[in-house]
């Protein structure tokens, strides 16, 4: 497979600027790989495809308010700082992206908040837009993190052309988010409401939680025609023994195992044993799933509709089958499905 196989024209009006009014009332396209069929449903109909003992694998990462706006010392120029990951909690060192980057050099100081209550010093250049910042703040670590939360805003994707609203803080977060550390939401999970999860639980469906802290690397464009030469950024991953037990028991009983989102899929495919069972994991993964790929754990997946040429689309192609995926995407465009983070969903069985 080549990069050019994943190009398609996406009308701009299909980019979702807002989420559906109710989480579980977005649209759901159901693709049956065996029958080669495509059906149109509502997301809450997902319950009809699962039975007692089946498993949903959920990514319980929590998005933190990663986008800050500060001013450069002396010039007062407004600078956007996007927090990527904490490098050292004691020294308050962070890996960040800055915009506009050409103005930000080593030694520069940035001031945040109306009262300049938070200051950061640039101590290294990492990439063209990447910098290492040391935050200077008088207070405990907990107070410092609270200050970041207070000054930061929900990092909704750049393609959304409107301002961030207070609702985004809630809606750009799954209802089962627990472990803070993501700079982007695992968006397939945004469709689950508390009510729908409860109904699934009552029906006997089990939930296995994994934690993959989504970084911006997930969305980095692929710039090589030969996909085997693309390198994914590493993301922090944790899979507990408890999650493995739930999944492996279902696998032994030949139950349906569904990864909710490409991040859950990356998580489980990063830690498969030689016996084709799920292993516990605590570390970093740079797993890149693209066709051809033999999936060992999941039998189905829930995902959103993705960007042309994205690694996410390549994973869907590997799982769905490329021709069927292309047919499904053509149908989605024809039927006016909404794409990207706040868009509609797809269930591949």
Among the listed residues 144, 156, 150, 140, the one whose alpha carbon sits nearest the alpha carbon of residue 120: 144
Coil, helix or strand for 253? Answer: coil
Confidence (pLDDT) at 221:
77
State the fold for domain 67-153. Answer: Thrombin, subunit H (2.40.10)
Q: What is the pTM of this model?
A: 0.91
Q: What ranges do the domains of the chain cover?
A: 3-63+169-348, 67-153
Distance CA 55, CA 253 (A): 11
Distance CA 160, CA 82 (A): 16
Confidence (pLDDT) at 172:
95
Among the listed residues 238, 249, 348, the one whose alpha carbon sits nearest the alpha carbon of residue 299: 348
Alpha helix segments (H runs only) across the chain: 141-151, 166-171, 194-202, 241-252, 262-269, 311-320, 322-334
Confidence (pLDDT) at 128:
77
Contact (Cβ atoms closer than 8 angstroms) between residue 65 and residue 273: no
User: Tokens in use for 13?
Assistant: 């009006």
Distance CA 265, CA 246 (A): 16
Beta bridge partners of 171: none
Residue 73's CB is within 10 A of a number of other CB atoms, namely: 15
Q: Write down the residue that tokens 């493995």 correspond to.
A: 244
Among the listed residues 293, 288, 266, 269, the one whose alpha carbon sits nearest the alpha carbon of residue 279: 269
Among the listed residues 153, 178, 179, the one whose alpha carbon sits nearest the alpha carbon of residue 167: 153
Confidence (pLDDT) at 19:
94
pLDDT digits (tens, 9 = 90+) for 31-60: 999 999 999 999 999 999 999 999 999 999
Confidence (pLDDT) at 229:
92
Alpha helix segments (H runs only) across 176-231: 194-202
**HSE toward the beta carbon, residue 252, CA cutoff 13 A:** 9
Contact (Cβ atoms closer than 8 angstroms) between residue 346 and residue 303: yes
Q: Write down the residue that tokens 């799933």 correspond to.
A: 289
User: Tokens in use for 155?
Assistant: 């990092």
Instruction: Identify the architecture of domain 3-63+169-348 in CATH.
Output: 3-Layer(aba) Sandwich (3.40)
* Peptide bond preceding 102 in cis form (omega within 30 of 0): no
pLDDT digits (tens, 9 = 90+) for 52-79: 999 999 999 999 999 999 999 878 889 9
Flag residues of the chain having pLDDT under 50.
none
């Amino acid at each position: 497979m080549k990069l050019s196989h994943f190009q398609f024209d996406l009308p701009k009006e299909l980019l979702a600027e807002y989420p559906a009014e109710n989480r579980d009332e977005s649209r759901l396209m159901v693709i049956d790989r065996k029958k080669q069929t495509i059906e149109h449903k509502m997301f809450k109909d997902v319950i009809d495809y699962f039975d007692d003992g089946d498993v949903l694998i959920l990514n319980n990462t929590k998005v933190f308010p990663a986008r800050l706006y500060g001013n450069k010392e002396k010039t007062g120029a407004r600078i956007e700082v996007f927090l990527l990951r904490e490098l050292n909690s004691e020294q308050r060192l962070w890996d960040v992206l800055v915009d506009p980057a050409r103005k930000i050099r080593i030694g520069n100081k940035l001031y945040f908040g109306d009262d300049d209550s938070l200051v950061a010093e640039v101590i290294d250049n990492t990439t063209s837009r990447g910098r290492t910042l040391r935050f200077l703040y008088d207070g405990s670590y907990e107070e410092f993190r609270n200050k970041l939360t207070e000054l930061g805003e929900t990092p909704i994707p750049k393609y959304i052309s409107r301002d961030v609203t207070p609702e985004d803080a809630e809606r750009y977060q799954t209802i089962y988010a627990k472990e803070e550390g993501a700079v982007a939401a695992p968006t397939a999970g945004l469709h689950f409401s508390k009510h729908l999860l409860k109904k699934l639980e009552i029906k006997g469906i089990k939930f296995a939680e994994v934690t993959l802290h989504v970084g911006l690397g997930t969305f980095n464009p692929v710039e090589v025609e030969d996909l085997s030469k693309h390198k994914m950024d590493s993301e922090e991953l944790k899979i507990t023994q408890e999650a493995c037990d739930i999944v492996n028991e279902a696998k032994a009983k030949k139950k349906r195992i569904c990864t909710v989102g490409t991040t859950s899929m990356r998580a489980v495919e990063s830690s498969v044993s030689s016996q084709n069972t799920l292993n516990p994991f605590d570390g970093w993964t740079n797993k890149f799933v693209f066709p051809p790929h033999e999936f060992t754990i999941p039998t189905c997946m829930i995902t959103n509709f993705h960007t042309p040429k994205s690694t996410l689309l390549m994973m869907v192609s590997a799982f769905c089958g490329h021709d069927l995926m292309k047919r499904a995407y053509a149908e989605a465009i024809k039927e006016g499905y909404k794409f990207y983070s706040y868009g509609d969903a797809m269930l591949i069985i």
